[in-house]
Chains A and B, each alone.
Chain A
Amino acid sequence: MTVEESYLPRVGVFVCHCGVNIGGVVDVPAVVRYAEGLLGVVYSESNLYSCSSDGLSKMKVAIEKHGLERVVVASCTPRTHEPLFQAACEDAGLNKYLFEMANIRDQCSWVHMHEPEEATRKAKDLVRMAVAKAVLLKPQKEPEISVEPKALVIGGGISGLTSSLSLAQQGFRVHLVEKAPQLGGMLRDLGKLFPTNMESWELLAPRIEAVESHPNIVVHISAEVGAVSGYIGNFDIEVLSNGSVENINIGTIIVATGADNLEPTGLYGYGEDPRIVTQMQLEGLSEDELVDANRIVMIQCVGSRNEERPYCSRICCSVAMNNALLLKENDESREIYILYRDLQTYGTQYTPLEQRAKEKRVKLIKYLDERPPEVITGCDSLVVKVYNPLLNEVLDLETDLVVLSTPLIPNADAKELSQKLRVPLNSDGFFMEAHVKLRPIDFATDGIYVCGSAHSPKEIGESISQAYGVASRAAIPMAKGTLRAAAITSQIDEGRCSGCGTCIELCPYKAIQKDEMGIARVTSAVCKGCGVCGASCPERAITMSHFTNEQIEAQAHAALGRVED
């Protein structure tokens, strides 16, 4: 063993009380004393709140005073404050990758609240494990990449238009790619928008005009995205349009491809009779065409909240309610029934729709999942049979028009696009965000963002908010101009690589390529650090920095050494 290999870095351990969150269950002073005795630990202290400015400055002082070379904080989940502690280390002159956390709160004191002795034992184990890993940590250099101040917005509907404008107004160049021969998306086919009943063209027309005339925006219509390569700050995109290919180099990508409407073929007689329509089709009918529609039955949850599509499409109850009100407005005498499973006219803006509907005598009838309504066709009038649990009766509703409220479904191109961009779809087929609360409109892949109904069914105002949101998110790296990529990446030992190509095939981000000699090389900026290549390499030539096999085994080994009391 060389002198280098036998050197034990100086480890500091900071155990947090987190008020009473940890301190109320775990014997923090005992953990501090225990930590002092661990191999490598030269200093140990406790804090009331390590994340407070006081806690952080104490940490920095300790790092300098005791010449600490590794820092372990035993506190909460890394999800909350890891970046904060890492920044404190950097401030004190320590590379942020020489920092490790032990979760003695969310995975200890909080879940073993009635077993303080065992929880303390476990906290000691967790600290021992973290120290065992910390000792093996190496400083990492984050590669710096330049960011092209140009954005690609995929989709020219309300979300795409809004985010394009927002970015253009901030001074960034935008390439807006729209599949259809015109801008506007689904809004083009809608009439009055709830809850204010503004006409959709009132919302759309000024935005389309602004986008088309803005000097910073290049609009590509009848165009699609072809191959995508590169990484945040430096994406190379093929824009395919009418047989021609244009290559553009951009810094960030916004997915605003929207959703499709479900065609409920085979459900409730749809397709068997022209008097059975969807809400979307209803909005396209003029008053003349509706003159004979005196009795109308709307059915909610058609093709949704079932095994095939377990999700609720969020807006259909509000849409149905609003359309019912509009129908009543044109003819008060109309009899309108809305058959629902649960009424989702949510929040402060849409609940009033329900109240107004009730005032206008729109009849809201609950039906059970197990006993859905039946639509009988083939007679002069349509008949809808529905079992109402409150009345304990089957109602026979003779009607002139049946309107089916169908969910928004993932865009037909979503899968292909997700593969091109290498971003995930969730189990419902919509684009999946990095984290539902912490990063709701980012993808886990840096530099790509998602907004609108491409992410999940939502109301127009919500789409617009998200569109502003992604413009702001994308602006951050573009405004900074340079970026530091995460250093948790794979490292290939070229000497061991035998060129089998397993890692290249398996990398979900296509971050690995063969060089001229046939040896695998990873582009760190594209690598997301998932570790699949490292776990798969037949020659074991790949190391996952910051999560090496040695570090994982050291943690396990430390975990198995029972705590001596």
Chain B
Amino acid sequence: MSRIQYPTNLRVIRVMCSGRVDPSVVLGILADGADGVMITGCHIGDCHYIDGNLQAKRKYELTRRLVEKSGLSPKRLRLEWVSASEGQRFADLVVEFIEQVREVGPSPLAGESPDPMLSLSIQAARAASERFRLRAMVGKEEKMVTEGNVYGEQMTQEEFDEEMNAAMESEYARNLIHLAIKREPSSVKALAEQLGIGSAEVLGHVVAMRQLGWVDVKEIRGSSPVYMDVEVSQ
């Protein structure tokens, strides 16, 4: 209503609550080549849906960590609390965010020829955010850290973050390896070289994925098995 002017390079997508924002969707938008993604919601304590924004905060943390892991600049991401009456603040935030993103430059994933390694890693980040483990952990985080679970066990934020980081590293690595195999059937050694992950770790993930039915042996080249993706019907 106040018609406070702000830059034109923002496109707004409406959702009911900031808690609606799924990390996988944000990662998908970055994968699509967006230069930046900003999530806004009600101030903590003022959520129109009681505490949806607390979930938004937790999910944003996961998203941010995955973006970092993928090698994309986390400066392309931002979470801000803005109320409907804070027109000037919104405008200022838009200006600030656009400046922040401008400093990082256009997304390496935009245009006709996106960076292939980055493309792979952001897809891996997205896949990790779509699987059960990380989603379940983020979903339980609020309760674990404040009240504790049904067994009366509670964690400090630091303890939780440690667990979450470990889980995230593992899920990301596994999905990265999986997508690399999907792109081109490879041996453990080739994957380790390509992705910069230790071969023991790669092997561990490959073995697990075989058990899960994600990958299978395609052929043996020399003395090394070459793994390929198995079409898993969800």
Residues of A bordering B, CB below 8 Å: 78, 103, 106-107, 110-115, 118-119, 121-122, 125-126, 129, 422-427, 432, 434-436, 444, 488, 500, 502, 505-506, 508-509, 528-532, 534-540, 544, 547, 549, 552-553, 555-557, 559-560
B145 within 8 A of A: no
Sample (8) of A-B pairs whose CB atoms are under 8 Å apart: A119-B8, A121-B8, A506-B55, A508-B49, A535-B21, A538-B135, A547-B20, A552-B13
User: How far in angstroms is the closest Cβ of chain B from A491?
Assistant: 14
User: How far in angstroms is the closest Cβ of chain A from B95?
Assistant: 12
Contacting A502 at CB < 8 Å: which of B1, B43, B139?
B139
B1-30, CB under 8 A of A: which get 1 and which 0? 101111010011111110111111100110
Contacting B49 at CB < 8 Å: which of A115, A436, A444, A556?
A444
User: With the chains together, A557 CA to B139 CA distance in Å?
Assistant: 27
Residue of B nearest to A535 (CB): B22
Inter-chain contact B52/A532, CB cutoff 8 Å: yes
With A111-B3, A508-B51 given, is the CB distance from A531 to B12 under 8 Å?
A: no
Q: Which residues of chain B have C-beta atoms less than 8 A from A532's C-beta? A: 17, 19-20, 49, 52, 55
B89 within 8 A of A: no
Contacting A115 at CB < 8 Å: which of B8, B15, B19, B45?
B8
B64 within 8 A of A: no
Inter-chain contact B11/A505, CB cutoff 8 Å: no
Q: Known contacts A530-B52, A536-B138; can you find 20 more A-B pairs with CB under 8 A?
A: A103-B12, A111-B3, A112-B8, A118-B8, A122-B11, A432-B46, A434-B48, A435-B84, A500-B136, A502-B136, A506-B142, A508-B52, A528-B49, A532-B55, A535-B55, A536-B135, A537-B139, A538-B136, A549-B24, A560-B33
Chain B CB within 10 A, most for which of A422, A423, A528, A531: A531
Q: Which residues of chain A have C-beta atoms less than 8 A from B52's C-beta? A: 508, 530-532
Contacting A424 at CB < 8 Å: which of B23, B34, B47?
B47
User: How far in angstroms is the closest Cβ of chain B from A454?
Assistant: 17
User: How far in angstroms is the closest Cβ of chain B from A501?
Assistant: 9
With A107-B12, A530-B20 given, is the CB distance from A505 to B3 under 8 Å?
A: no
Inter-chain contact B43/A427, CB cutoff 8 Å: yes
Contacting A530 at CB < 8 Å: which of B3, B16, B110?
B16
Q: Which residues of chain A have C-beta atoms less than 8 A from B135's C-beta? A: 502, 536-538, 540
Residue of B nearest to A79 (CB): B84
User: With the chains together, A535 CA to B20 CA distance in Å?
Assistant: 5
Residue of A nearest to B58 (CB): A536
Residues of B bordering A, CB below 8 Å: 1, 3-6, 8, 11-17, 19-25, 28-29, 32-34, 43, 45-52, 55, 59, 84-85, 91, 110, 130, 132-133, 135-136, 138-140, 142-143
Q: Which residues of chain A have C-beta atoms less than 8 A from B49's C-beta? A: 424, 444, 508, 528, 530, 532
User: With the chains together, A436 CA to B46 CA distance in Å?
Assistant: 12
Q: Which residues of chain B have C-beta atoms less than 8 A from A557's C-beta? A: 32
User: How far in angstroms is the closest Cβ of chain A from B66?
Assistant: 15
Inter-chain contact A531/B19, CB cutoff 8 Å: yes
Residue of B nearest to A117 (CB): B8
Residue of A nearest to B49 (CB): A530
Contacting A538 at CB < 8 Å: which of B1, B23, B132, B143?
B132
Contacting A422 at CB < 8 Å: which of B17, B43, B50, B143?
B50
User: With the chains together, A506 CA to B50 CA distance in Å?
Assistant: 11
Q: Which residues of chain B have C-beta atoms less than 8 A from A107's C-beta? A: 12
User: With the chains together, A536 CA to B51 CA distance in Å?
Assistant: 14
Residue of B nearest to A550 (CB): B25
Q: Which residues of chain A have C-beta atoms less than 8 A from B140's C-beta? A: 502, 505
**Pairs A-B, 6 closest by C-beta atoms:** A531-B20, A530-B49, A508-B50, A502-B139, A118-B8, A532-B19
User: How far in angstroms is the closest Cβ of chain A from B85?
Assistant: 8
User: How far in angstroms is the closest Cβ of chain A from B167?
Assistant: 12
User: With the chains together, A110 CA to B3 CA distance in Å?
Assistant: 5
User: How far in angstroms is the closest Cβ of chain B from A527?
Assistant: 11
Residue of A nearest to B91 (CB): A111
Inter-chain contact B51/A544, CB cutoff 8 Å: no
User: With the chains together, A103 CA to B1 CA distance in Å?
Assistant: 13
Contacting A552 at CB < 8 Å: which of B25, B34, B55?
B25
User: With the chains together, A121 CA to B14 CA distance in Å?
Assistant: 19
